[in-house]
Amino acid sequence: MKKYHVNQALKLSLMGALVFSSVSWENATAKSLEKSPKITINGFTFEDLNRNGKLDKYEDYRLPMGDRIDDLISKMTDEEKAAMLMGTGMPGFDGLTPVIGAIEGRVPGAAGGTYKIERLGIPEIIVADGPAGLRIKPIRENNKNTYYCTAFPVGTALASTWNPELIQSVGKAMGNEVKEYGVDVLLAPALNIHRNPLNGRNFEYYSEDPLVSGKIAAAMVNGIQSNGVGTSVKHFAANNQETNRLSINEHITERTMRELYLKGFEITVKESNPWTVMSSYNLINGTYTSARKDLLTNILREEWGFKGIVMTDWFGGYAGFSSLQAGTSNVVAQLEAGNDLLMPGLPAQKTAILENMKNGKLSKAVVNTNIKRILELVFKSPTMAKYKYTDKPNLKGNAEVTRNAAAEGMILLKNNGDLLPYQAKEKLISAFGVTSYDFIAGGTGSGDVNEAYTVSLIEGLEKGGYKLDTELKTLYTPFAAKEKAAELESRKKRGILALPERLPELDLSKDLIAKKASTTELAVITIGRNSGEGGDRTVNNDFNLAADEVSLINNVTEAFHAKGKKVVVILNIGGVIETASWKNKVDAILLSWQPGQEGGNSVADLFSGKVTPSGKLTMTFPVKYEDTPSAKNWLGTPASNPENVTYEEGIYVGYRYFNTFKVKPSFEFGYGLSYTNFEYADLKLSSKTFDGKLTASVTVKNTGKVAGKEIVQLYLSAPHQNIDKPVSELKAFAKTKLLKPGQSETLQLTLLPKDLASFMESRSAWVAEAGNYKVAIGASSLDIKQSTAFSLTKELEVEKVHKSFALTAPVNELKSK
């Protein structure tokens, strides 16, 4: 018999090839496998090698994955296991690299990777940010190729489409870049609730409402993962402020956790099977989320059926990087809780894991369970399958995807006299505001993307055939460039998580503005805002307009209105700002959000009427910041350096508060205008009594002059004898297809038992009270078009769950009565 010497390299490549072949042979029976054509690798066949006893069980692709993984685990040393439970450091984290001991991985600029064990053929898999597109280094040393990625619209802009189908296609495009640049898991989507408008990372997140967040996130995960790469749904959970985010202790009741801060994650896990979940930085009721077994095991895995791994956020579970270095007291609690992977991984954590394995404080069973899940992830990865990535994703096609998605996520807040679409292309437009010339594609921090270009408002309008005033262009262009360079320089000096600062406005004389009001036809003013990870926004000069912005709006509107001309404001922002004090002065307001790299083109598409606006708000724009229910306890106490924050507003976040307590917003949740009009008719329920499932159908007709899409929202008002409830809550939504003038569509909106239920802490159960339920179909949360009712004859205990989130301090929650 021939003797083969199988060297390690060959064994490794063989294993990759075998795993890869197993993908396409997944459904083959053992019998057909026996008969299947022999796979030849470097001249050896699998059967030859196997017969000679050269393959281990873990390499035998014909065995179930679980058996192969168990075999691998049985061959791993304790050292290897400890290393496998953490990442290999964070090379992109300049300054800390020598301390962490990380080396630049296969994909420069990626946020981290898992440990590889060559002797067992376990490769390193790569994880990279983030929610608006893949974030890697665009330029590599001694390499003339570039590795730019597409900057897609920020999360808030995507959610404003209310269109899961569209978001799935965005996810598919994003995932294409992940796969073709050699990354295995994208650290996205991010779906924390917009609890307060000042959260510096709200732009990455979707909504103040968990249903919208969950549906959009699930679509995103399904889209990204359709490429055969993974996602990391983050930050689990209640990562609602950046100030002291590594140590803030949030006091939240179980009901508020389950109904508000967990609900979106529940929908995502159940509807999209994400490969991974990222635990958050904060503590809930005295314990870090990464060390909470109730959250990561009982709820996530047992109640919701999550099958993937949980990883920590970077250095999570400690008050900071230095405290993690000084002591690793949370390692055992994290691993036991079901937080399988510690990211990005520090040598001190490995030592702690080994010590605790030796002294028995960390059980073998826990270690093996975590490792098993990590290996399942590795086995699924493109890297394990030796996928030959091209480094050439479809950047051109994806630019089209982002342009269209951004246009659909933009919201028309005001349009007096049908000013938009503005079709007088031959007439001159005056573009004011530094942001018109330096459009903001997205926020900073890990939610940033290194894109090749950003189309500014000016470029977009010009490409769309509009004429822009050249004198203003000549003044603004160098000013914007200089201010931007200075801002970037100052940010660089301030360090890795330095926050972006607003560029000042160019001081234009009233005479010049008056001249423009005579010589040009329309004024466009762009107001810009940027924010990012590591800090929260402020009320002055951020939520509220700064003095130079107020005078710009005043001077331009006075001058243009004096000449009978109109003013449009474009809001190129990532989060909510104050609008009530100035919205009546201007004629139209287009909320473009931070729309990704094609932003200017997307605005131009709406400006010209090529696209009819169909985005709606996924959060409330309050009249003043102080109207926000969480404003009273925002950031926590002591104010000088917050340690504890009590969520006294409970479930009354966003419209749940504004509508129940009748506080008038500037623009309400669910609001957005169109260039056309819609009529709602024929609301019908499948039954007048609830029996396990109920469908509401409603017909929407485009009664205007141009084609458009409408977002239809179903709000449910439930009986509240036994539990306090908001006046109504969003329970379903749907978007029409593009309806031509005169065209109608009948939409179906479904209610399931849990949609009727609230969480009753006293019974650890989701309970739907018997009684009368009112169904209101709205074009927004306040603009109700049709309503009807059904009844539930007997109380329903929909689901009984584990008691979780025991309080460590009293939480005196707001009640409506």
User: Which residues of the chain form contacts with ligand BGC (CB under 6 A)?
Assistant: 111, 129-130, 187, 234, 313-314, 446, 533
Q: Which amino acid is at 375?
A: L
Q: Indicate which residue of 129, 209, 294, 313 is catalytic.
A: 313
Strands (E), 407-480: 411-415, 428-432, 467-468
**Closer residue to ligand BGC (CB): 445 or 704:** 445
The DSSP string of 212-278 is HHHHHHHHHHHHHHTTT-EEEEEEETT----TTTTT-EEE--HHHIIIIITHHHHHHHHHH--SEEE
Q: How far is the CB of 282 from ligand BGC (least distance, A)?
A: 11
Rounded Cα gap, residues 759 and 29, in angstroms: 46
Q: How far is the CB of 147 from ligand BGC (least distance, A)?
A: 17
Give the containing element (helix H, strand E) for 542. none
Q: How far is the CB of 316 from ligand BGC (least distance, A)?
A: 8
649: three-class secondary structure by DSSP: coil
Rounded Cα gap, residues 326 and 314, in angstroms: 16
Is residue 183 within 8 Å of 387, Cβ to Cβ?
A: no
Rounded Cα gap, residues 110 and 118, in angstroms: 21
**Closer residue to ligand BGC (CB): 313 or 336:** 313
CA angle (590 as vertex; 487, 629 as ends), nearest 5: 80
- Name beta bridge partners: 287: 284
Residue 448 is a catalytic residue = no
Inter-axis angle of helices 65-75 and 364-380, to 10 degrees?
A: 130
Q: How far is the CB of 376 from ligand BGC (least distance, A)?
A: 21
Burial of 7 (0-12, 13-18, 19+ CB in 10 A): exposed
Q: How far is the CB of 82 from ligand BGC (least distance, A)?
A: 22
**Closer residue to ligand BGC (CB): 91 or 130:** 130
41: three-class secondary structure by DSSP: strand
Q: How far is the CB of 188 from ligand BGC (least distance, A)?
A: 8
397: three-class secondary structure by DSSP: helix
Rounded Cα gap, residues 489 and 486, in angstroms: 5
496: three-class secondary structure by DSSP: coil
Q: 703: how many CB neighbours lie within 10 A of its CB?
A: 13
- Residue 810: cis peptide before it, omega within 30 degrees of 0: no
- Name beta bridge partners: 467: 428
User: Which phi and psi angles does 705 have, rounded to 5°?
Assistant: -100, -15
Rounded Cα gap, residues 497 and 447, in angstroms: 12
Q: How far is the CB of 701 from ligand BGC (least distance, A)?
A: 43
Is residue 353 within 8 Å of 329, Cβ to Cβ?
A: no
Q: How far is the CB of 93 from ligand BGC (least distance, A)?
A: 9
563: three-class secondary structure by DSSP: coil
SS3 content of the chain, % helix, strand, coil (to 5): 35, 20, 45
**Closer residue to ligand BGC (CB): 232 or 356:** 232
**Closer residue to ligand BGC (CB): 184 or 313:** 313
Q: How far is the CB of 484 from ligand BGC (least distance, A)?
A: 24
Rounded Cα gap, residues 400 and 393, in angstroms: 13
**Closer residue to ligand BGC (CB): 130 or 433:** 130
Q: What is the DSSP letter of 606?
A: H
| Catalytic machinery residues | 313
